[in-house]
Structure 1
């Protein structure tokens, strides 16, 4: 691939353009808002404006509600040898293109499984897709040349191609992406009218659950509007679990010992199933999840403290597998939780203690 046109200079489109431009592809950027295209270009994502001639690949990075229309217009104009979109739903746009009687041999629907809570070109990074799954939904009549172009796109973005049926993809993202967004938002919504003294008690648990609730409501309304059936199906199952959990909690308040026992069993069941489901979430680099031990260290909120603790861990010969920071309320300090292999935890604790760090047990 030598040339590409990215239509839609948001987070995903600009990130793809940055990755392609950084690897020698001549990239052109257009957007319904010319300022966004110019902003993306100023970041090094390519040149703002339509290409002077036909490009190798056109990448449509617009909201799902507009994906089919923009694709159809681009294909009608013949601006590229191949066409791909990066919308987070795949069945709807393809059906719309079929209704528009578009020749779909030169098109592949795709979905990079990467993103952020923030949006727009300024949030984009060239490494956004590195190591992340990138779903492709070709069909039997997809042109081989176009498939190769899209596979090259994925490779240049250093993502991992995953081939799926469009309907299967939409059911999958309903479970692993769209429903979590709604659940996170619903939990965060409980905080809107909460008393300030309650909100000040927020710890790492509520931060973890509500992190993605900071996402753009307009963007997510468009996404969910394009995949309502599969999301509703997942939520229906979740609602059934929720109803049973509420019933179990009420049973725990009963004076009847048998009812309390049944309530405890119901709570234990949902927590156990949660453990089993969480254990299936892939770990680092897409590998099977690993069990890590946590070394908790008190750290002050001063420049260079994280770098110093990483350097001290390096001197001890210990690799930090993951990290979490819990900030102290009302203090310029926090607790850094260093996740390491169980065999390294004791050695790291001793080494950091010897270097003056306060280890919390």
Structure 2
């Protein structure tokens, strides 16, 4: 994915937006826009969801008024149908959607005769395990990426309106193609959901007396298993090709490890596990810390801070004198009854060792995280 710098002067001001679908995403869009003073009109086949979203402050029922832009936030199988209905109604000049799969709805849209010039496929990359309007939040998209996936037929007005929508919801719009989006989401979203569900499902076969041994690591790893099964069935079916490829690749990696565990020597097992762990650490290091930023491996420096006011400010002050840019600050690891804690700072990898040396010379306890 490649981020673009959008010319704010070319973006339209959205005064009235229509939202089709009042589940988690649609209602959260309504809440975010309403907080910015945008008039939001809501539509859903489930009138109870519309009523709930309205009571939450996400907007009011859509009674046929014309809007500046409409966004379709319905389950994947109905996206193309809703886009066509909106375009033919003439209620919105431009339309976007919020689906987590992009190629399938586009193919269906072409088959249905949708006007591709007015539709900009998009995907706000945010969510929760809980679903429905009751789980919506106005800040769901804050500092999150909003994938903008136009095709050659997409008109500039539709692209600009979609970007304006993302900004209005507090997100960072990032442009990519539908194909690249789906391939990426298979790796970073869809397969992780499958793995979490499979791993949590294995707990069902565990003897009841062993369940209390479940630790926080298992809970963290399986958090996604609480996601809505019907919703995810549609998503996975809609992106089956890229997902199948990733699942086979992951399965081959795990099978190879199982073979080594079965028949390998102690040294071979150690080497295989080390390769797996190092690969995971390398992958984690590539995770962007800022929304829309390209993947980059930072050097992480840990610093021990005394539990007293002003320590973090003093640390940042020291580093600023050395012209070393702090790219990100990790969570402050600190036990309530401990006299000190650890903060980790992300810097250019070439500057990490220098930073450790300078901090040590100035009386700080610092180390480079491996």
TM-score interval, normalised by the smaller of the two chains: 0.7 to 0.9
**1:87 & 1:338 partners in 2: Cα distance?**
42
**2:195 & 2:71 partners in 1: Cα distance?**
31
Query: Residues 151, 314 of structure 1: CA spacing in aligned structure 2 closer, same or farther, 3 A cutoff?
Result: farther
Contact kept, 8 Å, 2:84 with 2:113, in 1: the verdict is: no
Query: Residues 27, 163 of structure 1: CA spacing in aligned structure 2 closer, same or farther, 3 A cutoff?
Result: same
RMSD of aligned alpha carbons: 3.0
Work out whether 1:143 is the aligned partner of 2:152. Answer: no
Work out whether 1:217 is the aligned partner of 2:234. Answer: no
Contact kept, 8 Å, 2:84 with 2:114, in 1: the verdict is: yes
**1:107 & 1:146 partners in 2: Cα distance?**
6
Work out whether 1:275 is the aligned partner of 2:299. Answer: no
Contact kept, 8 Å, 1:40 with 1:121, in 2: the verdict is: yes
Q: Measure how far apart 1:122 and its partner are.
A: 1.4
User: Taking CA–CA contacts closer than 8 Å with sequence separation of 6 or more, which of the two structures ends up with the larger relative contact order?
Assistant: 2
**2:171 & 2:342 partners in 1: Cα distance?**
26
Query: Residues 85, 187 of structure 1: CA spacing in aligned structure 2 closer, same or farther, 3 A cutoff?
Result: same
Q: Measure how far apart 1:313 and its partner are.
A: 6.1
Work out whether 1:15 is the aligned partner of 2:24. Answer: no
Q: Which moved more, 1:184-193 or 1:172-181?
A: 184-193
Contact kept, 8 Å, 1:12 with 1:115, in 2: the verdict is: yes
After TM superposition, list the pairs within 5 Å mapping 1:59-98 onto structure 2: 59-98=71-110
Work out whether 1:321 is the aligned partner of 2:340. Answer: no
Q: Measure how far apart 1:69 and its partner are.
A: 1.1
**2:142 & 2:130 partners in 1: Cα distance?**
18
TM-score, normalised with respect to structure 1: 0.81
**2:277 & 2:127 partners in 1: Cα distance?**
29
Q: Measure how far apart 1:348 and its partner are.
A: 11
Q: Which residue of 1 aligns with 2:324?
A: none
**1:166 & 1:228 partners in 2: Cα distance?**
14
Q: Which residue of 1 aligns with 2:120?
A: 108
After TM superposition, list the pairs within 5 Å mapping 1:147-296 onto structure 2: 147-252=159-264, 259-283=265-289, 288=296, 291=300, 293=302
Q: Measure how far apart 1:195 and its partner are.
A: 2.0
Question: Out of 57, 61, 66, which is 1:54 matched to?
Answer: 66
Work out whether 1:340 is the aligned partner of 2:350. Answer: no
Query: Residues 338, 135 of structure 1: CA spacing in aligned structure 2 closer, same or farther, 3 A cutoff?
Result: farther
CA deviations on 1:85-130 (whole Å, 9 max, x unpaired) are 1000000001101011121100011001111111111111111111
Q: Which residue of 2 aligns with 1:42?
A: 55
Q: Measure how far apart 1:294 and its partner are.
A: 9.2
Q: Measure how far apart 1:52 and its partner are.
A: 3.9
Query: Residues 313, 8 of structure 1: CA spacing in aligned structure 2 closer, same or farther, 3 A cutoff?
Result: farther
**2:86 & 2:219 partners in 1: Cα distance?**
42
After TM superposition, list the pairs within 5 Å mapping 1:344-359 onto structure 2: none
Query: Residues 177, 27 of structure 1: CA spacing in aligned structure 2 closer, same or farther, 3 A cutoff?
Result: same
**2:283 & 2:198 partners in 1: Cα distance?**
21
Q: Which runs of 5+ in 1 are unaligned?
A: 253-258, 296-311, 327-332, 350-361
CA deviations on 1:5-56 (whole Å, 9 max, x unpaired) are 1000011111111111111111001111101011111111111x22442111
Contact kept, 8 Å, 1:313 with 1:348, in 2: the verdict is: no
SS at match of 1:187: helix
Query: Residues 70, 127 of structure 1: CA spacing in aligned structure 2 closer, same or farther, 3 A cutoff?
Result: same
Q: Measure how far apart 1:193 and its partner are.
A: 2.4
- Residues paired across the two proteins, number: 321
Q: Which residue of 2 aligns with 1:300?
A: none
Q: Measure how far apart 1:276 and its partner are.
A: 1.4
Q: Which residue of 2 aligns with 1:6?
A: 19
